[in-house]
């Protein structure tokens, strides 16, 4: 049987991506390979008879009509549109990643989505794709459409999904079941009573989660720089679409490339396309700025938040996620709107005399209008100032709660149970309760109040199971040691070969 591979590539230098695919081909001999990647230095070369390389930025920014004649693509069938219906709302919502703001009308968003779907369905059909290898969490519309098409067409797939631990990735076959290999490894490791040795970087991360190592946590989680510096960088990233220097850079690049491409081709068409793109970009900028005027800021939040006396009452701690990010969209699943978690959990906790503390992420630059007010007005909820240290709040809580965030493992590392609403991969470890309705919340809190201990041995066994089932990947563009990059490259090749052979 011919193997026709779709491979979501990595950022590449020095032929890194091409060498991975060459070795996979030598082992399994695929007929066709379609890939998206970012070739940062032009050293990835491919045989056009065998490979089809698709521009990643064209896909991420939904610019298909500027790059090709959409009339050449296959039309969409009733059967495919119906099969894709469950995935459509998530794919449409992900369009916020273009500008980091939800600015599109329903009609605009639906049009973008259908462009993605039509383009990628044509790619899959034309190349008879029968195996998909994803090297990240699908969190842009185009790669989520690729994921959804793979599911709808029942094509075998492997996902290498980054986790909270730097460089470490889950390996799975379904975005919402990334826990499966970890759970299997934990079954084998769970009854171990011997001292647990973890890989050095996993051990460092585990130690950083412990509350007595608060300073170490900042270094491991945020890297160099202070919390304030980190917030400034993240804000610039999120707000970059409407920052004047970045706007100017985008526009100058478009004019430059439009002129050069027109001169090379002897036609004004490339320049006209780029000017058309700039006009639409200006339209998006106006919409973002208009949206910002109607958003709440962290300053608005702080006016409603308090510094609680955490010693005086029992509480569960809910740490809001930074948004947009993959841990909510798509990994929170149906709980991507975080107020749904709060509305579900707060009344159940009230039955047990337990308060729900909600704390904003210190980096979040804006929320939708009235988001904070609605949280504040939810019965049994206290908004906690973002200046209050989360480590201290976690130390005194009855439990923590999260859609799919880092706190799921930070809590258990410190002997605290946690409610998890989403599908981040750490759903079923010791002291972790996956919940999605009132009865599950009640069962979890009743079990927690029995005082069930989360032992350090159990948690370390869980981390060991994670290391045994996960993949450690070092990128060639991050300045990692060459030997680590090469080891990662070989392991990616080995994984892809095993998965393809096992499925086809």
- pLDDT, tens only, 249-273: 988 998 998 898 898 889 988 888 8
Q: What is the DSSP letter of 333?
A: G
Q: pLDDT value at position 217? A: 67
What pairs with residue 316 in β-bridges?
356, 399
**What confidence score (pLDDT) does residue 223 get?**
61
Q: What are phi and psi of 198, to 5 degrees?
A: -110, 155
pLDDT bin (cut points 50, 70, 90) of residue 218 is low
Residue 11 predicted with pLDDT over 90: no
Give the mean pLDDT of 298-308: 94
What is d(CA 102, CA 448) in angstroms, rounded to the nearest whole number? 38
Burial class (CB within 10 angstroms; exposed 0-12, middle 13-18, buried 19+) of 492: buried
Q: Which candidate, 467, 476, 433, places its Cα nearest to that of 163? A: 467
Banded pLDDT at 311 (limits 50, 70, 90): confident
**What gap in Å lies between CA 46 and CA 18, rounded to an integer?**
7
Res 222 pLDDT > 80: no
- In the prediction, which pLDDT does 257 show? 86
For 478-492, write each residue's pLDDT tens digit: 888 999 999 999 999
pLDDT mean over 364-378 = 93
Instruction: Report yes or no: 70 and 115 within 8 Å, Cβ to Cβ.
Output: yes
Task: Write down the H helix ranges in 377-478.
Answer: 390-396, 407-413, 438-449, 456-469
- Least confident interval from 227-241, 259-273, 394-408: 227-241
**DSSP count for the chain of H helices, then E strands:** 21, 15
The answer on pLDDT for 365 being more than 90 is no
pLDDT at 261: 87
- Joined tokens for residue 100: 């980091």
| pLDDT at position 56 | 86
Question: What pLDDT does residue 220 have?
Answer: 65
Q: So what's the pLDDT on residue 452?
A: 85
pLDDT in tens, 35-87: 997 888 889 999 999 999 998 888 888 888 777 888 899 999 999 999 999 99
In this structure, the chain runs to a length of 504
Average pLDDT over residues 347-361: 97
Q: Give the residue-averaged pLDDT of 423-429.
A: 95
Q: Supply the DSSP string of 71-113, one letter for each residue.
A: GGSPPPPHHHHHHHGGGHHHHHHGGGGGTTS----HHHHHHHH
What does the pLDDT average to over 444-472?
Answer: 96
pLDDT (0 to 100) of residue 200: 96
In whole angstroms, give the CA distance from residue 280 to residue 275.
9
On the question of pLDDT at 384 being above 60, the answer is yes
Q: How far is CA 155 from CA 17, 133, 148, 272, 372, in A?
A: 23, 11, 10, 39, 42
pLDDT interval class at 201 (50, 70, 90):
very high
> Do residues 142 and 62 make contact, with C-beta atoms less than 8 angstroms apart?
yes
Q: What is the pLDDT of residues 163-188, one digit of tens each?
A: 999 999 999 999 999 999 999 999 99
User: Is residue 224 over pLDDT 70?
Assistant: no
- pLDDT the model gives residue 62: 82
d(CA 376, CA 367): 14
364: which DSSP letter?
-
Helix axes 200-209, 456-469, angle to 10 degrees: 140
> Quick one: tokens of 359?
């704390």
Closest alpha carbon to 471 in 485, 490, 492: 492
CA distances from 21 to 56, 218, 497 (A): 17, 37, 10
Q: Who's near 478: CB < 8 A, 6+ residues apart?
A: none
Q: Which residue has the higher pLDDT, 467 or 233?
A: 467
Which of 295, 315, 313, 297 has the alpha carbon at shortest distance from 305? Answer: 297
d(CA 177, CA 84): 19
**Higher pLDDT residue, 147 or 369?**
147
Q: Cα(469)–Cα(454) distance, rounded to whole angstroms?
A: 22
pLDDT for 372 equals 96
Opening angle at CA 125, ends 269 and 177, nearest 5? 110
Q: What is the pLDDT of residues 99-113, one digit of tens each?
A: 988 999 999 999 999
| Short-list 408, 326, 323, 405, CA closest to 147 | 326
């Amino acid at each position: 049987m011919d193997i026709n591979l779709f491979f979501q590539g990595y950022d590449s230098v020095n032929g890194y991506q091409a060498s991975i695919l060459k070795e996979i081909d030598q082992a399994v001999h695929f007929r066709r390979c379609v890939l998206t990647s970012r070739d940062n230095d032009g050293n990835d070369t491919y045989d056009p008879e065998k490979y089809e390389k698709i521009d990643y930025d064209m896909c991420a920014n939904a610019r298909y009509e500027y790059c090709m004649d959409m009339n050449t693509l296959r039309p969409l069938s009733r059967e495919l549109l119906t099969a894709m219906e469950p995935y459509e709302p998530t794919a449409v919502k992900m369009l916020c990643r273009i500008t980091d703001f939800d600015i599109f009308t329903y009609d605009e968003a639906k049009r973008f989505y259908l462009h993605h779907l039509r383009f990628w369905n044509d790619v899959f059909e034309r190349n008879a794709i029968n195996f998909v290898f994803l090297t990240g969490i699908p969190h842009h519309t185009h790669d989520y459409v690729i994921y959804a098409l793979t599911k709808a067409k029942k094509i075998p797939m492997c996902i290498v999904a980054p986790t909270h631990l730097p460089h470490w990735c889950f390996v799975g076959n379904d975005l919402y079941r990334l826990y499966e290999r970890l759970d299997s490894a934990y079954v084998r490791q769970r009854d171990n009573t011997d001292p647990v040795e973890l890989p050095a970087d996993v051990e460092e991360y585990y130690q950083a989660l412990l509350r007595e190592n608060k300073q170490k946590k900042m270094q491991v989680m945020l890297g160099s720089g202070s919390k304030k510096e980190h917030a400034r960088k993240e804000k610039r990233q999120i707000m970059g679409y409407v920052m004047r220097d970045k706007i100017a850079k985008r526009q100058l690049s478009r004019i430059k490339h439009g002129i050069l491409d027109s001169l090379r081709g002897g036609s004004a068409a490339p320049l006209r396309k780029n000017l058309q793109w700039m006009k639409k970009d200006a339209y998006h900028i106006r919409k973002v700025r208009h949206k910002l005027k109607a958003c709440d800021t962290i300053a608005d939040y702080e006016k409603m938040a308090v510094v609680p006396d955490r010693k005086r009452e029992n509480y569960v701690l809910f740490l809001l996620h930074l948004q947009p990010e993959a841990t909510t969209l798509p990994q929170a699943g149906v709980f991507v709107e975080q107020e749904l978690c709060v509305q579900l959990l707060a009344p159940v906790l009230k039955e047990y005399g337990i308060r729900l503390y909600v704390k904003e992420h210190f980096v979040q630059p804006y929320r939708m209008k009235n988001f904070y007010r609605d949280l504040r007005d939810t019965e049994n909820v206290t908004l906690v100032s973002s200046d209050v240290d989360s480590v201290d709040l976690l130390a005194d809580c009855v439990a923590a709660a999260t859609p799919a965030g880092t706190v799921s493992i930070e809590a258990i590392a410190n002997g605290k149970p946690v409610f998890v609403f989403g599908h981040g991969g750490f759903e079923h470890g010791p002291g972790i309760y996956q919940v999605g309705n009132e009865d599950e919340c009640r069962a979890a809190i009743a079990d927690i109040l029995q005082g069930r201990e989360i032992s350090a041995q159990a948690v370390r066994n869980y981390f060991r199971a994670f290391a045994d089932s996960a993949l450690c990947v070092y990128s060639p563009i991050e300045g990692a040691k060459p030997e680590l990059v090469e080891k990662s490259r070989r392991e990616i090749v080995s994984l892809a070969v095993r998965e393809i052979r096992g499925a086809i």
